[in-house]
Amino acid sequence: MDNKSEKYLIKYLKSLPDNQIKQFYNGVEWTPYPVLVIKEFQRRFNPNDDEFATKLLESVNEAKTKGQKIGRLAKLRGLKLSKKVSTQAKKTVSKKVTKAKRMIRSSQDNVELIKKLGELKKAGIITNKEFQTKKKQLLDKI
């Protein structure tokens, strides 16, 4: 936090009534600048060391517990998302591999067809024009 913000917040905290400072202090883990709230509380109410230490430990433990809950929730959501992404990726890769295999087979098949068409042309079964037309169609697919 920069000095201007800190000075402004200190000034603001000093302007608040006691009951609001107590509310901020009771929910210190939710305040934007907990250290400043704690300092203002100490300045106003001079709590004894035991009371102050107990409150800080409670705040730390609450924050730790909430952080652990958030961590577990994030882990669960991350695992679900990871599984979903993995499943989708496998489907996509599988489709692409299948398509690539078809293209390879198709290319080999088309080359074989062109050879057979050449034999049909040599045998006089099809004309040169028919051969050239069909050959161009098959080559366009490769």
The 10 Å CB-count burial string (b at 16+, else e) for 62-80 is eeeeeeeeeeeeeeeeeee
83 pLDDT above the threshold of 80? yes
95 pLDDT above the threshold of 80? yes
Tell me the whole-structure pTM to 2 decimals.
0.35
Q: 38: how many CB neighbours lie within 10 A of its CB?
A: 19
What is the mean predicted confidence (pLDDT) over 13-33?
A: 81
Q: Which DSSP state fits 27?
A: T
Highest mean pLDDT pick, 32-36, 65-69, 112-116: 112-116
